[in-house]
Amino acid sequence: MLPEISLRSGFTTGTCAAAATKAAIFAWLGGKPDVVEVLSPQGRVIQVPVASCQSTNRGGRAVVVKDAGDDPDITNGATVVADIEIIESPDLILRAGAGVGTVTKPGLSVPVGEPAINPGPRQMIALAAKQVLPPGKGAIITISVPGGEKLAQKTLNPVLGIVGGLSIIGTTGIVEPMSEEAFKKSLRPQISVVKALGYESVVFVPGKIGHDIAVRCGLPEASIVQTSNFIGYMLESAVAYGMKEVLILGHPGKVVKLAAGIFHTHNRVADARMETIAAYLAADGAPQQAIRCILDCATTEAAIDVINDYQLHGVYPVLAGRASIRAQRYVFGELKVGVVMVTLQGEILGHDANAREIGAKLGWNLA
C-alpha cells in the first residue's frame, strides 16, 4: 500500500491582508512581531508569519508573503503590504494600493468604486485592526500587492470589470489544497451516506451557500450533497449508488451552464452563461436591447438585474427545464432530474415540473 500523502494548507490573500494590517499597527505602537494571530470569519485562530514591519511618520507598514501551502495558487509567494495611517476617529477606511483592483461593474459582492476586497477579508481586516488600535483611534488602511496587476491578467478580473490588480479574497481564511481528482473523490461518499439513510432522492447544491439555502427552504439536510463544480461527475455517481432522482438547486451562474450542456462548471473549463440566457430570451421574443444588455453583463447577478428591469422572469423556468433535460441526457435517462434556480439570498427564481415532483417527495412544496 502506498503511503498517504499529506498536503500542506496555506493562507488566503484576505488572511495576509488582515495579518499585515495588525502587524503594521503593532509597529506604530513600537512592536515588531514575527508572527501575528488573526481570526477567520468562522472564528478560527490563524497564525501568520510577518516578513517585515516598521513604523512610519503617520502609522506603520507591514509585509506578509502569501503562502498557499500545496495548493496551485497563482498568488503563492506574492507580497501583501498594509500601510496604516492613524486617524483621530474610530473609523476604518479601506483603500486599494498598487496591485489591488477596483470594482468598476455592478453585480459583484463589493459596490462599484470600492477596492476589490471581498466581504470576508474586510471583516478579518476590521477585526484585526480593532483588536490593537487604542480606544478612539481609527486608521486609513491601504492594501497593496506589488506585481498584482500582472497576476490579475491570469484571472477573470478583467472580464468582471475589476481593474488595476487582484481581488483580495477568502471566505475561511485558509487555503485547503487538494488535487481535482482527489477533490472529486472526496465528494462522492456524501451520496453513499444519503443512500444509507434511506433516501432515493438526493439534493445537489454547488457549495455551502446552496446548502444553507436548501435547508432554509425546508429540504431535509440529510439529503443534501455538495457538488462543487463537478455536477456531471456527481450525477454519474448518483447513478452508481442507485439513486433514482436528483434535485439540483443552485444560482443561475451554475445552473445556466447545465442548460448549455456544460457539466464541469468551473469558469476555466467553459462559460456560456450570458450567451445561453440571451439565446433563450431571444427565442421568447425579448427586445433586442435586453439581449444586448445581457451580453454586456459580466456576472449573472448583473443579468438578473436586466431580467428584472425588462420583466422577463419567464426565462427562469425555461432554463431550469432545459437544464433538467440536459442533465437526464447526460446520464442516459438513468435519473429523473429537477432543477431549481435561486438567488444568493435564497429567493426562488424558477423551477421545472420535475423539481416540483421531487421536492414534494422530500417534503418541500414547490407548487
Strand ranges in the chain using DSSP code E only, listed in sequence order: 10-11, 35-39, 45-49, 52-55, 59-65, 79-87, 92-96, 99-100, 102-103, 138-144, 162-163, 165-166, 174-175, 201-205, 224-226, 245-250, 336-342, 348-351
355 neighbors 196 (Cβ within 8 angstroms): no
Give the number of residues written for the chain. Answer: 367
62 neighbors 27 (Cβ within 8 angstroms): yes
Check the CA dihedral 117-119-123-126 and report its sign.
positive
Summarize pLDDT for 234-272 with one digit per residue, the tens: 999 999 999 999 999 999 999 999 999 999 998 888 899
Going from N- to C-terminal start, the domains of the chain cover 10-175, 180-361
The overall average pLDDT reported for the chain is 92
The pLDDT of residue 170 is 83
pLDDT > 90 fraction of the chain, expressed in percent and rounded: 77
At residue 182 the predicted structure's pLDDT band, cuts being 50, 70 and 90, is: low
Beta bridge partners of 247: 203, 338
The pLDDT of residue 98 is 98
Cα 336 to Cα 245: distance, rounded to the nearest angstrom: 5
The pLDDT of residue 179 is 58
The winner for highest mean pLDDT among 153-157, 225-229, 304-308 is 304-308
Summarize pLDDT for 129-166 with one digit per residue, the tens: 999 999 999 999 999 999 999 999 988 788 788 999 99
Beta bridge partners of 202: 246
Summarize pLDDT for 16-75 with one digit per residue, the tens: 999 999 999 999 999 999 999 999 999 999 999 999 999 999 999 999 999 988 777 889
Beta bridge partners of 168: 117
At residue 184 the predicted structure's pLDDT band, cuts being 50, 70 and 90, is: confident
Cα 11 to Cα 307: distance, rounded to the nearest angstrom: 38
The pLDDT of residue 289 is 97
Multiple choice CATH, 10-175, 2.40.50.140, 3.40.50.300, 3.90.420.10, 3.30.2110.10: 3.30.2110.10
The pLDDT of residue 205 is 95
Mean pLDDT confidence for 211-218? 91
The pLDDT of residue 287 is 97
Tally Cβ neighbours within 10 Å of residue 123. 16
The pLDDT of residue 2 is 40
Which of 112, 106, 155 minimizes the C-alpha distance to 301?
Answer: 106
Give me the half-sphere count of Cα atoms (radius 13 Å) on the Cβ side of residue 235.
27
Cα 30 to Cα 10: distance, rounded to the nearest angstrom: 29
Summarize pLDDT for 267-292 with one digit per residue, the tens: 888 899 999 999 999 999 999 999 99
Tally Cβ neighbours within 10 Å of residue 309. 10
Backbone angles phi, psi at 232, to 5 degrees: -60, -45
pTM value is 0.69
